Amino acid sequence: MVVLVSRIILVLLILLGIRLLARVLAPLFAPRGTRPATRARRPARAVQRGEMLRDPVCGTWVDQRIAVTASRDGRTVHFCSAACRDRYLTEPPS
């Protein structure tokens, strides 16, 4: 029984070795137009962030560019969601 298990493991290791060798050698024999670019990476895009503002209702920080807005007393207020905006507008000004 031990001999059978050891032979199965040996066969699996040989098959794994053949598979790895085939993956390494396959790009060398591929036609020129189909070779994958090695180490081809796209340049990293700079992350642009807007100004972060605090929602006066729940305290969540939200990017000014995507915030839901409302005006009260001539000033613009920024919110994380329409629900926070609606809650703010229904509360009496403090």
Calculate mean pLDDT across residues 68-75.
91
Q: Is the pLDDT of residue 46 over 80?
A: no
Say what the pTM is.
0.48
Task: State how far the alpha carbon of 23 is from the alpha carbons of 10, 28, 30, 37, 41, in Å.
Answer: 20, 10, 11, 15, 21
Q: Is the pLDDT of residue 48 over 80?
A: no
**Rg from Cα positions in the chain:** 31
Q: Is the pLDDT of residue 9 over 70?
A: yes
Calculate mean pLDDT across residues 7-36.
86
Calculate mean pLDDT across residues 54-59.
94
